[in-house]
């Protein structure tokens, strides 16, 4: 198809924000950017009942914000194609309509990518200019989707105040901590509001022996300890926090081994990697791994590296583990069985799992993120293996034509 080299023409590299953990610099060769724009354009075309589909012309600018969900915010230009919206074709199958007759448009969209690699349109506004006539504006907003929130948004103030107070109450530090910086935040409407915030707190000059509570006179120390936290807060319709969980890790400072109290109710605690308590959450985690990757073989957990648990209206487990390919093929077996053995030369995955179990409701929620373990062969050649969740062979350029400038 003659458009294959210009479907994803970019006018410049996509912009980025400064924070290393919340945003990343991306360009037009990022395959996920293509999927995000594809989702946005398909959403716009699906909203039209008549006329022709629009085809991507170029991506103009945008940012990528990384949290539990990844958000792509960008502008892109489109041109009217020669395929009717009712044709059953996608915009990639269409050519541009003749320039003198074609409508053009510019869209601003925010697209989220979930932990299960699903792309969904959060908001989108498109201004369409017909070949003759006034500009038409189409708007879309997904009320139940996860929405990114600016780190300096006033709506975060009450949740952050609660978070800092919770941290100070549940640590054994001899000093109080104050908010240092909000890294990322997102919101979702779920019978109220669910907030997820990533932020840091820093040690102050106020001793817990001198003050009963955090006071406005407490000032952060330049060389004070810094903790990074990720909180989830549920705010009910009365604007009260009905449920709250906090997971913090020391980032920098003098006391890098200083732990949260072991007997702190609701605080994360480390448990042995060989604890029988892990049988159920590990089972859920590896089942999720095998369900979401398209490898021909089943994987099984080969090594558990670290585990923390937290009491949050149930039990929540944060698990780091290594999974390796077994000799059991998915085509021959209904599920991973006890007879499946790890292959000595098989592929490996480094995984982080978050497993939430509420046994009295028979409810389990789990998210697992894995990265391939790169194996260096004895002939010094590096083998990268198959990308998790794709069909591309090592070094394949199969997708590059879609992204050519």
* 290-303 pLDDT per residue, tens: 998 889 999 999 99
**Two tokens at 50?**
């008549």
Fold classification of 154-264 (topology level): Nuclear Transport Factor 2; Chain: A, (3.10.450)
What is each CA distance from 246 to 159, 180, 281, in whole angstroms?
Answer: 12, 16, 20
Contact 10, 58 (CB under 8 A): yes
Length, in residues, of the chain:
405
Q: Where are the beta strands (DSSP E) in 165-273?
A: 175-189, 193-207, 226-235, 241-252, 269-270
Position 160 confidence tier, pLDDT thresholds 50, 70, 90: very high
CB 156 within 8 A of CB 181: no
The class that CATH gives domain 276-383 is alpha beta
Is residue 400 very low, low, confident or very high in pLDDT (cuts 50, 70, 90)?
very low
How many Cβ atoms are within 10 Å of 368's Cβ, its own excluded?
24
Question: Any residues with CB less than 8 A from the CB of 229 and at least 6 apart, and which?
Answer: 163, 167, 198, 199, 200, 201, 246, 247, 248, 249
Look at strands 315-329 and 375-376 and give their pairing: unpaired
CATH number assigned to the domain covering 9-144: 3.10.450.10
Query: What confidence tens digit (pLDDT) does each residue in 112-143 have?
Result: 998 888 999 999 999 999 877 678 899 999 98
Cα separation of 189 and 166, whole Å? 24
Q: Which of 56, 45, 163, 22 is nearest to 402 (CA)?
A: 56
Token pair listed for 133: 């006539």
The residue extents of the domains of the chain are 9-144, 154-264, 276-383
320 versus 21: which is more confidently predicted? 320
Q: Rounded distance, CA 382 to CA 316, Å?
A: 37
Q: Kindly give the pairing relationship between strand 241-252 and strand 269-270.
A: unpaired
Higher pLDDT residue, 172 or 281?
281
Which residues in 85-102 are b (16+ Cβ under 10 Å) and which e? beeeeebbebebbeeeeb
- Residue 265 dihedral angles phi and psi, to the nearest 5°: -60, 125
Mean pLDDT for all residues in the chain = 80
CA distance 122 to 111: 5
Residues 6+ apart with CB under 8 A from 380: none
Decide if 48 contacts 103 (C-beta within 8 A).
Answer: no
| Domain pair 154-264 / 276-383, same fold | yes
Extract the tokens encoding 323: 């999974």
Buried b (16+ CB within 10 A) or exposed e, 120-138: bbbbbebebeeeeeeeeee
Q: Which of 125-139, 251-265, 313-327 has the lowest mean pLDDT?
A: 251-265
Could you tell me if 373 and 360 are in contact, meaning their C-beta atoms sit under 8 angstroms apart?
no
Outline where 107-244 has alpha helix (H): 157-169
343: tokens are: 């292959």
- Measured CA to CA, the distance from residue 235 to residue 156 in angstroms comes to 11
Residue 82 pLDDT grade (very low, low, confident, very high; cuts 50, 70, 90): very high
Q: How many other C-beta atoms lie within 10 A of the C-beta of residue 323?
A: 26
- SS3 of residue 74 by DSSP: strand
Q: Are 166 and 246 in contact (CB under 8 A)?
A: yes
Token readout for 71 is 């958000």
**Confidence class for position 173, pLDDT limits 50, 70, 90:** confident
């Amino acid at each position: 198809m003659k458009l294959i080299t210009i479907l994803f023409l970019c006018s410049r590299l996509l912009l980025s924000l400064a924070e290393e953990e919340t945003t990343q610099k991306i360009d037009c060769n990022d395959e996920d950017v293509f999927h995000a724009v594809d989702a946005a354009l398909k959403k716009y075309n699906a909203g039209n009942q008549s006329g022709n589909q629009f085809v991507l012309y170029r991506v103009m600018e945008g940012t990528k914000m990384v949290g539990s969900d990844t958000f792509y915010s960008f502008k892109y230009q489109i041109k009217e194609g020669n395929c009717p919206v009712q044709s059953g074709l996608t915009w990639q199958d269409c050519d541009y309509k003749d320039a003198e007759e074609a409508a053009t448009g510019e869209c601003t969209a925010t697209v989220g990518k979930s932990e299960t690699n699903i792309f969904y349109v959060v908001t989108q506004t498109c201004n369409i200019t017909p070949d003759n006539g006034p500009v038409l504006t189409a708007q879309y907003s997904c009320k139940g989707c996860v929405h990114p929130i600016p780190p300096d948004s006033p709506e975060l103030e009450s949740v952050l105040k609660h978070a800092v107070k919770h941290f100070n109450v549940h640590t054994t530090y001899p000093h109080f901590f104050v908010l240092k910086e909000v890294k990322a935040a997102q919101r979702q409407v779920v019978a109220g509001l669910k907030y997820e915030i990533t932020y840091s707190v820093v040690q102050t000059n106020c001793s817990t022996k001198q003050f009963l509570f955090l006071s406005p006179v407490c000032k952060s120390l330049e060389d004070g300890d810094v903790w990074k936290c990720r909180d989830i807060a549920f705010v009910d319709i009365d604007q009260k926090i009905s449920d709250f969980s906090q997971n913090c890790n020391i980032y920098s400072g003098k006391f890098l081994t200083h732990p949260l109290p072991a007997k702190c109710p609701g605080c994360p605690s480390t448990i042995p990697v060989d604890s029988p308590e892990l049988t159920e959450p590990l089972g859920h985690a590896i089942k999720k791994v095998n369900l979401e990757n398209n490898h021909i073989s089943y994987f099984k957990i080969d090594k558990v590296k670290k585990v923390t648990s937290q009491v949050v209206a149930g039990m929540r487990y944060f698990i780091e583990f290594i999974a390796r390919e077994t000799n059991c093929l998915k085509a021959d077996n209904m599920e991973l069985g006890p007879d499946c053995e790890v292959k000595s030369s098989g592929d490996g995955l480094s995984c982080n799992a978050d497993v939430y179990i509420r046994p009295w409701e028979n409810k389990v929620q789990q998210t697992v993120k894995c990265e391939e373990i790169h194996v260096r062969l004895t002939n010094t050649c590096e083998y990268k293996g198959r990308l998790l969740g794709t069909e591309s062979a090592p070094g394949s350029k199969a997708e590059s034509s879609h992204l050519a400038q």
